[in-house]
């Protein structure tokens, strides 16, 4: 694994070079619903065998909206203790309040995070104008000791930030990139044209990793990388090496299983897949429900077909 790399941007700020693949780690709970730090440790130790660029904790797949502030701080501390320091730890710190987002971002920095992934506020959706969002992100970035990544996740927030909004927010020296989960390749390509080379775009799903790379993404934060790290890394590597046919073949093979653990069954599907592979997925938090036995059988067959499970 290469060491962390920094580049000096035109604004004079050291930005992280994000090129590569990041799994957004699920938060493990035991059967009583408590945080299971030993299980987190074993999952990360397994993933440390692969050439991942780093990890995201407390993203959508981390069920971060289900965690109390105290639990979030505990997860940050426990994850940093296990994640090697040559791999980035990116922490989801976005909440509905600008002040609370900044509080969690500053705490994440204190606990060893390399960057914060900040989802946009969305509860007062009709009031989330470009001006509101620009103010929110810039206030957090002004006061954050670590770089900020914008997180666009319209499936969960109901707001799909357009290229103009993201590019306007990006015009800040401490905002270094975006994780875009919309799957809108026209927007990603347009954004690549509108922002400087120091602003980095990460695909938010393995389902469109290869197409996103072709229009300017530098890597991806991919739920699928929790259960298929080698395959996700290979798509990125094949593209980087100009092995486009191999990248295409692998990308296409991964689409059905990626859909199963994202838009179809979401976190319950991802945790069930981890359990099936000998990792620890464990329970989800209510109101999420676990997969049924019939759904698990379908998922197992999909894992086998994708070449992830023998």
Q: Among all residues, which ones are annotated catalytic?
A: 179
Distance CA 112, CA 124 (A): 32
Apex 54 CA angle, 52 and 55, nearest 5: 115
Q: Which residues pair with 35 in a beta bridge?
A: 29
Residues 6+ apart with CB under 8 A from 24: 55, 56, 57, 59, 60, 61, 62, 221, 222, 223, 226
Under a CB-based contact definition with an 8 Å cutoff, are residues 16 and 115 in contact?
Answer: yes
- In the chain, DSSP finds a helix count (H) and a strand count (E) of 12, 11
**Cα dihedral 206, 210, 216, 219 in deg (nearest 10):** 40
How many Cβ atoms are within 10 Å of 208's Cβ, its own excluded? 23
- The tally of CA atoms less than 13 A away on the side-chain side of residue 115 is 29
Distance CA 191, CA 278 (A): 40
Under a CB-based contact definition with an 8 Å cutoff, are residues 100 and 72 in contact?
Answer: no
Distance CA 135, CA 168 (A): 10
Distance CA 65, CA 60 (A): 8
């Amino acid at each position: 694994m290469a060491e962390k790399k920094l580049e000096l941007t035109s604004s004079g700020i050291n930005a992280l070079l994000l090129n590569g693949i990041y799994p957004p780690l699920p938060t493990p709970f035991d059967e009583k619903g408590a945080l299971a730090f030993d299980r987190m440790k074993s999952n990360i130790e397994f993933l440390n065998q692969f050439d991942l660029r780093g990890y995201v904790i407390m993203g959508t797949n981390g069920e971060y909206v289900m965690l109390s502030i105290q639990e979030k701080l505990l997860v940050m501390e426990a994850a940093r203790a296990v994640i090697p320091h040559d791999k980035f730890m990116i922490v989801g710190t976005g909440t509905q309040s600008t002040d609370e987002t900044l509080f969690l971002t500053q705490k994440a920095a204190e606990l060893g995070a390399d960057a914060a992934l900040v989802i946009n506020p969305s509860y007062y959706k009709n009031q989330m104008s470009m001006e509101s969002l620009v103010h929110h992100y810039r206030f957090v970035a002004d006061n954050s000791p670590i770089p900020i990544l914008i997180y666009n996740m319209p499936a969960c927030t109901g707001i799909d930030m357009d290229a103009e909004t993201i590019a306007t927010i990006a015009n800040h020296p401490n905002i270094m990139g975006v994780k875009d989960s919309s799957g809108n390749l026209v927007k990603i390509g347009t954004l690549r044209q509108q922002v400087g080379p120091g602003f980095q775009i990460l695909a938010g799903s393995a389902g469109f990793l290869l197409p996103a790379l072709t229009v300017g993404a530098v890597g991806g934060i991919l739920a699928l990388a929790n259960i298929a790290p080698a395959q996700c890394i290979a798509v990125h590597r094949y593209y980087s090496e100009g092995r486009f046919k191999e990248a295409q073949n692998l990308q296409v093979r991964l689409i059905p299983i990626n859909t199963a653990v994202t838009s179809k069954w979401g976190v319950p599907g991802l945790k069930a897949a981890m359990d099936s592979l000998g990792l620890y997925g464990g329970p989800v938090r209510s109101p999420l429900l676990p997969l049924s036995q019939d759904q698990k059988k379908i998922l197992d067959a999909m894992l086998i077909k994708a070449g992830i499970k023998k």
